Structure 1
Amino acid sequence: MGIAISVFVSFLTFFAIYSLIVTGQRSQIFNFASLAQVAMGRFGYHMLNFMLFVQSAGSVISYFILVGDTIPVLLGFYIPQFPILADRQLVTILISLFIIFPLNLFRSIGALAKWSAFSVLLLPIMIFSVLFRAPVYSKDHTAPLMTVGKDPFAAMGIMSFAFVCSQVAFQNYLSQKNQTTSSWKISSVLSTCMSWTISMSFAAIGYLSFGQDVNSNVFSNFPEDDHIINIGRLALGLSMVLTVPMAFYPARDAVQKTIGFETKDCQPNALQHYGVTAILFLIFLVLGVQIHSLGKVYSVVGGIASSFLAYIIPGSAYIAVFHPQWFFLFKNYYHGAAPPNNDESSSIMGSGTEVNLVKVPVNPTWWLDIAAIVLVIFGFLIMTYTAISAFVI
């Protein structure tokens, strides 16, 4: 069931990122936020910023959880004479304040390019340590293959969190030498297949080795005295320390734009920049220290924010550009304007901002029409289910 769901989610991911670029070519809008405004007016623009914040915040919190799952374990095992170093909360707070926090003070994430590259190089160490050691523990666990997990819908949210990349689709597309739909289709298929293969191979090894006892953080399944796994734990801990800023910067940018510190005409001053950075970092740190369930974070953030970013916006934007008549019931998004059409020089109005739609030789196809509808419906279903499960039940 898990593999079947992952295949379905990966197909939706492909349709989402492909339809985004097709929509951008038709409208000549190559900006995710602008397309959100095309789809839902000014509400869509602000909702997108909010969901980007939730997505980034969830990532930061999950990284803090992983720091707490790894480094205190290593310190407690290898330096037992100082038991205080095994205190999860204390070690996470100290590492966060004295190592991670300074990395978040820069205004541009480009200043961390070398650290980011080093973080990526740690990934093979984590993967190979698990692939090498996990099968050793398989005899102690049962892993039924033909079964259904406890919460398949939550799994869809988690996988959405893992696969979501719509917010960077345009940057990747514009970086291509050949910016055609056929070239982007090939890129989308290859990247989706590679992501699915790596993720599911890793997941399959974890499940086949630990079965129904598998933890959301696979490293937590291994004993503390497994030295090879501890190399992977160290790589994971260091990687998370260096990866926090990659998710923190977009969250901070979303907040600064929302409260008006950052606009097209001005940038936050020093007090605003460092003030938002400190307050936001402390909030994320408190949540990361208090929350221990990595799977819960992935489920809630994936089900709410990732579904909106990965499915609802791409599907809605496609419909708004290629079939604007379908949005007639939502004309209030455009402040009472008539539904836009696909004629040359047509435009969509939203909160005083005009978005010009320039007709280019890109036509809708029946399979993208169906995909767009499925994306929107599936996104809303997962969002609704996650919200009810997390805040009502």
Structure 2
Amino acid sequence: MTHSHLPTIYGTTNRPSGSADNQRITESERDLLQADTPGYGHRSALKVALNLVNATLGAGIIGVAYAILSCGVVLGTIVALIVACMTYVSLYMMILVGKQNHFYQVAQLAQFAIGKHGYNLYNFFVFIQLLGVTTTYFILIGDSIPVLFQQYFPSIPLLGNRIFVIMVISWLFIFPLHLSRSIGTLANWSIVSVLLLPLILLTIIIRCPSYASQHESPITIVGPDILGSLGIMAFAFGCAQYLSKVAFSNFLSLQDQSSKSWSKTTTISTMLCLLLALGFGYIGYFTFGVDVQANMFLNFSPTDPIINIGRLALAISLILTIPTAFYPAREALQMMLGFDSRQHRTSNTQHMIITVLLFAVMVSLGITVRSLGKVYGIVGGVTATMLNYMMPGLAYLRAFAGRRWTKAENEESSQALLSAEGDDEHSPSLLLEVMAAGLLIVGAFVMVVSIYGAIRT
């Protein structure tokens, strides 16, 4: 499928979304083009930042308190700051590399970094990783909504059945959000999801004092399971790491697609993620202390009416967040099947078949798997580190490190970039090169210790 039915003037990144030419296309055409073509975004930096927050945190935020218990209060805070900084640098580098080399899909970034095998390996890791991500979402939905139904509709036992509830909610309310091709269409839903996070936090803040006296919450420097906590923290900030997959999609939905605008967007999203994650983590730990669970809501009484408001808000937030994991998973599967490339775009029939089958698999896993903490650690430590940190770092070094010593080539590349995209040129930065190397080293370390932690338990 091609865009031959569209005017040939469309598709240049120096054509602002508000131009007369851009306004001629229909919403469906914009949706299709915005999936992989620069120049068709029409959303503000704040909206895209909230979309990133929705993708970055998700279910992982519930496990931060448990990560602080495992890592220690002091060390856990330091780790959270480091992971947040790594997330920002990784997001920024991915777009710089994409703009420099004129590709806007993360699988192409992987192919650029380490060749064809990297392309296939990256898609495989992303696909497996996102199965884990959606599994955690469905686990949390299964832990939340049936509890509410049992409490307020005790005369209907079927509503307390975890499998029945997940099936109904999945196909009636979540599945319709997966039919579009561009993740940009989720921006407004992401705003709702992100706005629910303060409500969830508020219910916890109100009720935590009533539970705090029942538990010990020592201020520890180092916790009992540092290795296990690293993967959980990585999961919390990269949502087990389809973050790398949604970076390009969110960038392409941005109206101002300059490097400066993207830096502003990722700064906003990273700061919000850090504040929300640590807020959840501190409140959960200093309330339940050494007894805090991976799903903090399980520490509260199922009959607590205020907490049940938080449970409902969490469930709604997760319902709206699942699509942000599904979109990149579907893209990865299409890439592996050869359905989506520069030469062949997925047809509408292929798109629908893949969407239905993949969603069915994800719902099935969400029903059968129940160990939330184990999923957090393995998915975050093994797949998130490679996808979100190591691969972007390697790609940045491949794209820019050599240019520092080849001035003539650098000038030629700069002229080609400016003429092709009319955008700002990124000059090689020693600081970013050091940071890219840091992403590789830290990512590899966390991956190794996370695998070791999973094996030993």
Instruction: Give the TM-score range, shorter chain.
Output: 0.7 to 0.9
Q: Per the alignment, do residues 99 and 10 of structure 1 end up closer, same or farther by CA in structure 2, a change over 3 Å counting? A: closer
SS in 1 for 2:339: coil
Judged with a 3 Å threshold, the aligned counterparts in structure 2 of structure 1 residues 171 and 280 are, in CA distance, closer, same or farther, namely closer
* Residue-pair matches, total: 366
Whether the aligned pair in 2 keeps the contact of 1:27 and 1:360 (CA below 8 Å) is: no
In the superposition, relative to structure 1, how do residues 16 and 243 fare at CA in structure 2: closer, same or farther (>3 Å)?
closer
After superposition, give the CA deviation of every residue in 1:47-91 in whole Å (9 maximum; x if it has no partner): 222233234322211111111011100011111223332222332
The 10-residue stretch of structure 1 (128-137 or 220-229) with the greater mean CA deviation from structure 2 = 128-137
Q: 1:66 aligns with which of 132, 140, 161?
A: 140
Q: Distance in 1 between matches of 2:321 and 2:222?
A: 33
CA apart distance, 1:99: 3.4
Whether contact under 8 Å (1:138, 1:210) holds in the other structure is: yes
1:363 aligned residue: 428
What is the TM-score of this pair, normalised by structure 2? 0.71
Distance 2:259 2:314 in 1: 38
Over 3 Å counting, the alpha-carbon distance change for 1:42 and 1:221 in structure 2 is: same
**Equivalent position of 2:237 in the other structure:** 163
Q: Which residue of 2 aligns with 1:281?
A: 359
Is the CA contact 1:135–1:205 (under 8 Å) kept in the aligned structure 2?
no
What letter matches 1:275 in structure 2?
Answer: I
- Show CA shifts across 1:311-334 (max 9, x none): 111210122123359xxxxxxxxx
The answer to whether the 8 Å contact 1:173/1:179 transfers is no
Q: Deviations over 1:98-132 (max 9, x none)?
A: 43334434555566555444333333321211122
Q: Do 2:147 and 2:302's aligned partners in 1 also have CA atoms closer than 8 Å?
A: yes
CA contact (8 A) 2:230 2:450 kept: no
The one of 169, 177, 180 aligned to 1:95: 169
What letter matches 1:65 in structure 2? I
Residue 246 (structure 1) aligns with: 324
Using the alignment, how far apart are the partners of 2:412 and 2:120 within structure 1?
A: 26
State the AA in 2 paired with 1:220: L
Equivalent residue in structure 2 for 1:84, among 158, 162, 169? 158
Aligned residue for 1:140, secondary structure, equals coil
Residues of 1 paired with 2:220 and 2:456: CA distance? 31
The match for 2:149 among 75, 82, 87 is 75
The CA distance in 2 between the partners of 1:282 and 1:315, in whole Å, is 34
Other-structure match for 2:5: none
Mark the CA change 1:184 to 1:121 in structure 2 (over 3 Å): closer, same or farther: closer
Task: Indicate yes or no: 2:452 matched with 1:374.
Answer: no
Q: What are the residue-to-residue correspondences of 1:238-387 with 2, within 5 Å?
A: 238-269=316-347, 271-324=349-402, 362-365=427-430, 367-387=431-451
C-alpha RMSD over aligned residues: 3.2
Could you tell me which runs of 5 or more consecutive residues in structure 2 were left unpaired when the two chains were aligned: 1-74, 414-423
Query: Which residue identity is paired with 2:322?
Result: V
In 2: Cα distance, 1:96 partner to 1:216 partner: 23
- Once the two structures are superposed, residues 166-218 of structure 1 have per-residue CA deviations (whole angstroms, 9 ceiling, x without a partner) of 4444555663648355x655554454333212210111001000111111222
8 Å CA contact 1:224, 1:230 repeated in 2: yes
Q: Report the AA paired with residue 262 of structure 1.
A: D
SS of equivalent to 2:338: coil
Task: Deviation per CA, 1:247-276: give whole Å up to 9, x if none.
Answer: 212212211221123333444445533332
Match of 1:179 in 2: 258
Task: Rate the CA distance shift 1:23–1:390 in 2: closer, same or farther, 3 A.
Answer: same
Once the two structures are superposed, the pairs formed by residues 126-137 of structure 1 within 5 Å of their partners are 126-137=200-211
Write the letter of the residue equivalent to 2:277.
S
Compute the displacement of 1:35 (Å): 2.9
Residue of structure 2 in register with 1:139 after alignment: 213
C-alpha contact 1:143 1:211 (8 A) present in aligned 2: yes
Seq. identity, %: 41
Contact 2:126–2:383 (Cα < 8 Å) also in 1: yes
Look up the match of 1:2. 76
Q: Secondary structure at the match of 2:213?
A: helix
| Alpha-carbon displacement from aligned partner over 1:270-307 (angstroms, at most 9, x marks no partner) | 55333323332222222211222222222111112211
Which residue of 2 is the match for residue 338 of structure 1?
none
Q: Letter of the aligned partner of 1:142 in structure 2?
A: E
Query: Equivalent residue of 1:313, what SS?
Result: helix
Name the amino acid aligned to 2:391. Answer: I
Query: In 2, distance between residues paired with 1:76 and 1:43?
Result: 50
Distance 1:246 1:87 in 2: 26
- Mapped contact 1:141–1:209 kept (Cα < 8 A): yes
SS of 2:115's partner is helix
Partner of 1:354: none
Alpha-carbon distance between aligned partners in 2 of 1:391 and 1:275, rounded to the nearest angstrom: 37
Alpha-carbon spacing, 1:119–1:321, altered in 2? closer, same or farther (3 Å) = closer
Q: Which moved more, 1:240-249 or 1:223-232?
A: 240-249
Q: Which residue of 1 aligns with 2:57?
A: none
Q: Contact 2:96–2:426 at 8 Å: present in 1 too?
A: no
